[in-house]
Chain A
């Protein structure tokens, strides 16, 4: 199958949409009131070394994705085993996003609609995007990112008059300890999820730009998440904002400029639909690429629909209620993500360094582009 190559701008757009994902609506680093924005900034810094690990590995093995690198560095048996773990992990992440989207639709817009309807709508769309391929996905991402920026600005500019700077005080009133603890959750979702991107975004038009693209996407998305977190605190107050499942939605609902501009919360729906769709698609793309790597299959597109259906099923059976889901994602997920987002990437990097120093790095054959 022909290698899919995307431009820097498209890669950056994909990355921004991936990081924003559902975080743009659910918020992150909740539960510590008015200091949430500091822990978001802290989490960005904490996850930066792991981004560099991803970039370093991708630069060392040009044209190879996460699963190829796993096999090259860890050997065939161990590499396949870790690939299987990452494939299941990516599938679960995809199903989490479907669940969050369904929760959002259920709680704010269509309370009587059964969950499976939203799963089918979102899952089918994700399968369609997957079947179209990475290049189409990237081109669409670049276009939709512009739409999201316009919608974000249009929805947020009227909120400036409603911001109350008093809500941010006292800064670090309880010291650094709770802020550092809360940053762990932002670190897990979404900042250290770059490893999933390694399975998807690895071939750029200019190979040397891969690090720059990853960093630009990461910083842009981080900045948006930070600013929206700050806006939520300044509009809702730290404690009230922490109690909301969807603080951005609650904040935007308050915007009223005279009788002319009101009920702009539809903007949040548009943004969540787009970012969640892309995050689901990227996770499912990583899943299908993992399956291809496991079974030495050439075309990931043939697995698009079965994988999307499996993600829908998982989204349905994984959690009994919204409370269970919130408990898992807030309390347990950061620990669950640790091996995938921290331990294995660090281990992989150490293996790379040791192999490089001892001169035992695998030789990668130069592939001819068939296009």
Chain B
């Protein structure tokens, strides 16, 4: 499953990022690459059954500390 995930992201990367390089949009390429890498890392970890902590947990704890 992890391999499939990485393959899908490589395909998305090829179709999304190549036109940006051709246009010379290096900034857009770098931002897109960073965003795709974030998503790919999380999904690969999930597909390897490694639990990924919720990004909302710290926010939840902070709000609870304030209101309780």
The reply to whether A316 and B35 contact each other, CB–CB distance below 8 Å, is no
Q: Is the CB of B39 within 8 A of A317?
A: no
Q: How many A residues touch B, CB cutoff 8 Å?
A: 25
Nearest B residue to A317 via CB reads B52
Contact of A309 among B12, B28, B63 (CB under 8 A): B12
Please, how many angstroms separate the alpha-carbon atoms of A26 and B60 in the complex? 22
Q: Which of A28-36, A169-177, A217-225, A291-299 contacts B (4 or more CB under 8 A)?
A: A291-299
| Alpha-carbon gap, A297 to B38, bound state (A) | 20
B3 lies within 8 A of chain A by Cβ: no
Binds B, one of A67-75, A228-236, A275-283, A328-336: A328-336
Q: Is B27 an interface residue (CB 8 A)?
A: yes
B37 shortest CB reach to chain A, Å: 9
B43 within 8 A of A: yes
Distance of A365 Cα from B12 Cα, bound (Å) = 39
B22 within 8 A of A: no
Q: Is B4 at the interface (CB under 8 A from chain A)? A: no
Contact assessment for B54 and A306 in the assembled complex, using a CB-CB cutoff below 8 Å: no
- Closest CB of chain B to A316's CB: distance in Å? 7
Contact, CB under 8 Å: A303 / B42: no
Collect the chain B residues with CB atoms within 8 Å of residue A303's CB.
28, 31-32, 35
What mask results when residues 246 to 263 of chain A are scored 1 for a CB within 8 Å of chain B, else 0? 000000000000000000
Given contacts A302-B32, A336-B63, are A314 and B16 in contact (CB under 8 A)?
A: no
Chain B binding site: helix, strand, loop or mixed by DSSP?
A: helix
Contacts of A332 in B (CB 8 A): 59-60, 63-64
How far is B21's CA from A34's CA once the two chains are assembled, in angstroms?
59
Partner of A318, one of B25, B46, B55, B66: B55
CB of B9 to closest CB in A, whole Å: 9
Q: Given the complex, which residues of B lie within 8 Å of A296, measured CB to CB? A: 27
Complex CA distance for A256 and B59, rounded to whole angstroms: 45
Residues 44-59 of B at the A interface (beta carbon under 8 Å): 46, 52, 54-56, 59
- Asked if residues B54 and A309 are in contact (CB atoms below 8 Å), the reply is no
Asked if A343 is at the interface of the complex by the 8 Å CB criterion, the answer is: no
Q: When the two chains form their complex, are residues A306 and B16 in contact, meaning their CB atoms are under 8 A apart? A: yes
Which residues of chain A in 190-240 are interfacial with respect to chain B, using CB atoms and an 8 Å cutoff? none
**Which listed residue, B12, B27, B39, B59, touches A310 by the CB 8 Å rule?**
B39
Q: Does B20 lie at the interface of the complex (its beta carbon under 8 Å from any beta carbon of A)?
A: yes
Bound state CA distance, A297 and B46, in angstroms?
Answer: 32
Known contacts A318-B56, A328-B56; is A306 also within 8 Å of B35 by CB?
A: yes
Task: Tell whether, in the assembled complex, residue A317 and residue B35 are in contact, meaning their CB atoms are under 8 Å apart.
Answer: no
Given A297-B27, A328-B60, A336-B59, A309 and B46 touching (CB < 8 A)? no
Distance A310 CA – B32 CA, assembled complex (angstroms):
11
Q: When each residue 1-17 of chain B gets 1 if its CB lies under 8 Å from chain A and 0 otherwise, what string results?
A: 00000000000100010
Flag if A313 contacts B36 (CB, 8 Å): no
- Residues from chain B with a CB closer than 8 A to the CB of A310 are 35, 38-39
Checking B16, B46, B54 against A305 with a beta-carbon cut-off of 8 angstroms, the contacting residue is B16
Q: Which chain A residues border B12 with CB–CB below 8 Å?
A: 305, 309
